[in-house]
Structure 1
Amino acid sequence: MRNVSEVIEHYLKQVLQQSPEGVIEIQRNELADRFECVPSQINYVISTRFTLEKGYVVESKRGGGGYIRIQKVALQSHGELLDHIFGTIGSMIDQSASEGLLYQLEEGGYITQREGCLMKAAIAREVLVLKLPYRDEIRANILKAMLISLLSK
């Protein structure tokens, strides 16, 4: 059985997919009531599963009429995709951000799950046994080289 975080994530992605604008606004407390969890659980799901690296923009407005707005970033053209990749990677990238980017590329159908797994294995901190910041610089170079090779078909 899936845990509450996975159920909430799945629900939000489903609602987002059904939204014609690709944007949803949710009330944190209402969502917590719906899933019978504490509001901090909603915060956890949003902050870990709906990140920019994973292809989402999140805005929140606090207060009585507050909301959380989640928008899926759509990459329309090949050029936009490459710009996004190079913007995300930059000259260095940590393991968490790189895994988020690969997740986004898998979700968008740009790379296969197998390709994603191979890239994650190649750029893992256990493989790149170097001190920071060298590890993050090497990871960025390897990731860019692999993605250029895959996406320039």
Structure 2
Amino acid sequence: MEKREQFKIVEIAGRKWRIEKFDAMTGSYIAYKLMGHMLPGGFDGQITGGNAPKDRTVMSKKEFADLQLDCLHVCYEVLPAGKAPVIGENGAWGVMNIEDDTITVLALTVHALAFNISGFFDGNALKELIASFSGMTLFNAPTSMSSHSPR
């Protein structure tokens, strides 16, 4: 089994940045949100049984801000003293001269998404996920508990 990269280094506007992996819960949520807003062509019917809403809207400002914040939380500037978080623990900007640099903030967001989510949409990952749910309904979902007859 191939070991998954835990981070990548990118250069944006002459600065070095470290993009790390989302934790599994954040990654799952973001993949779910993205699938709801922009499923790759042809997957709508496989996931929703052909009943995908035709009037899906783009993300609201709050949805986008939440998504972007999750992405920026895995981004760090690489400095001589170590890595500095783009977003500090208090939610404020953690690196200098980024608060009004739209291009860098958007590029970091895109890099974080691509690094964390692209594997989900590449190859067979999405098809395998869909296949694992085939034939499953709310009432026949397998459980980890084995059935025992009453004594």
TM-score by length of 1: 0.23
TM-score of the two chains, using structure 2 as the length reference: 0.24
Structure number with higher helix proportion: 1
Structure with larger Rg: 2
RCO higher in 1 or 2 (8 Å CA, sep ≥ 6)? 2
